[in-house]
Amino acid sequence: MRKVLLVMLVGCSANDPMYVPGQTTLEAGMMDAMGNTVASAKGTLTLPIKTETMDDANARAALTTQLMVQVPYIKIDDIAVEVEYTVKNLDSEDGTAKVELNGANELFEYDPTLFADPNPEDEAPPPPGLAANSDIPITVPANGEVDGLFTEDETKEASVDLDEITRGNINEFTAVLTPADKNKQSFQPVTPLMYDAMGNALPQTPMGAEIPRAAFPHIIRFDLVFTPDHHMVLDYNIRIRDLRGNVVDDKGLTAPTSELDPFDMIMPYMPALPPPPG
């Protein structure tokens, strides 16, 4: 990974991005002290967003009243974010690895491990990551390394998908795997997914007004899940541009806690699951 990524730049205007290094190196694919294989590792990084000012909060409340839908503090066009990473293979054999992107906006957290199909015999596919390419294995040569990137466009698309899944009740596979439009201007929420006694999904119908782009939240916490098939490590950095010009703290993650928004009202996304057999 380029050395410049390890430097946190001072200032964060739209043309002066900040690079925030991941706080830990993710390691997996090796044996632990108990002789078990460590299948995956997870890294989490919340963006260094300033605490919301009273003026911003009042403006947001007024827009919420006008649009009749909750407007987030950090909206989709306020920031631009990309995630760069390097996978290093510590094994003497070629291997593959998956890097899954998940995370949270200030309203909801998306963690596929929180909801699993209760009917394992159904062999249902696991819920997808928020980035459409999360499930594509990366080939890493023996004792080699490979760089990867979730682009600004991909993190915007993931942000739209997260809002569609949570506030829109849109099926996660539909939201993630349907060709995304980072410039989408609105989407129509539907009724929450429900199942009949036989486990069949009931039809979903439109519910409420469309959610406009002015109320789309951007992801503010990024979760990477690293799953290699050999002993490998992953290092990552987040590059953030403050398009709004006043929401990213110049001190980054070294800023005092009092300066950073804690985003402590995030709810886990928990979709309805089909009933167990019998």
Smallest CA-to-CA distance from 86 within 8, 131, 15, 146 is with 146
Smallest CA-to-CA distance from 25 within 49, 11, 45, 9 is with 45
Give 110-164 pLDDT, tens digit per residue: 999 887 665 656 667 888 999 988 888 999 999 999 999 999 999 999 999 999 9
- As given in the structure block, the two tokens for residue 227 are 């799953």
Collapsing DSSP to helix, strand or coil, 29 comes out as coil
**Can you give the pTM of this predicted structure?**
0.89
pLDDT at 1 over 80: no
CB contact at 8 A, 168 and 188: yes
Q: Which residue has the tokens 């925030």?
A: 20
Span of 80-89, 93-102, 174-183 with lowest mean pLDDT = 174-183
pLDDT, residue 118, reads: 56
pLDDT at 45 over 80: yes
Highest mean pLDDT among 28-32, 145-149, 172-176: 145-149
CA atoms within 13 A on the CB side of 244: 16
Neighbouring residues of 164: CB distance < 8 A, sequence distance ≥ 6? 170, 175, 187
Give 240-264 pLDDT, tens digit per residue: 999 999 999 999 999 999 999 999 9
